[in-house]
Amino acid sequence: MLDKPKLMAHLRTIPDYPVKGIIFFDVTTLFKDAECLKMLVDDLYEHYKDKGVTKVVGVESRGYIAGAALALRLGAGFIMARKPGKLPAEKLSESYSKEYGTDSIEIHADAIDENDVVLIHDDLLATGGTVAATYRLVKRFNPKTVYMSFNIALDDVPKLDIYPKDAETYSILHLTEHDA
């Protein structure tokens, strides 16, 4: 059973990281506690167990933790969405803008097919730039369905216009800066 107060008690917040004015919600403290990690994965599993998910795409790098565990529970494959230069075989890439420049995300070209039901998982939803690029990239494979999940959604951070509003999205915790 999900114990949100326990999760909140184990969530570390770091002010002014990575830049002044930002409050960083550090999920590594949730992952290092076995009960918290189990709660996260169990909650995601309960939400997605009947949706026919065949592939879970974990967004580098904290999306790999719960994403891989969830894929195992769902009996699905696990795909890594990586920063440039990390995947060894043929890949597809999608670029996106950040506050301080541009970046890209890549997936192996043979990772997903049109018969797949894909769940994209990342640790935290803030502006949505990285997950929007991952979503666009996954959609290029033409899967049957694409879902998105997060351990945490920051509800008071405005989402970018590019954030995919048509994708079914689920977040375990909904936080604001006042929760820090």
Q: What pLDDT sits at residue 19? A: 85
Are the C-beta atoms of residues 47 and 149 closer than 8 Å to each other? yes
Q: What pLDDT sits at residue 63? A: 96
Which one of 46, 60, 73, 99 is the catalytic residue? 99
Q: What pLDDT sits at residue 58? A: 98
Tell me which residues of the chain have a pLDDT lower than 70.
99-100, 180
Q: What pLDDT sits at residue 100? A: 67
Q: Is 62 a catalytic residue?
A: yes
**H or E element that contains 23:** strand 23-26
Alpha-carbon gap, residue 86 to 99, rounded angstroms: 23
Q: What pLDDT sits at residue 99? A: 66
Which one of 62, 82, 94, 106 is the catalytic residue? 62
Q: What pLDDT sits at residue 18? A: 85
Q: Is 90 a catalytic residue?
A: no
Q: Assign domain 52-175 to a CATH class.
A: alpha beta
Residues comprising the chain, all counted = 180
Domain residue limits, the chain: 52-175
> What percentage of the chain's residues is helix, strand, coil (to nearest 5)?
30, 35, 35
pLDDT tens across 65-84, in order?
999 999 999 999 999 999 99
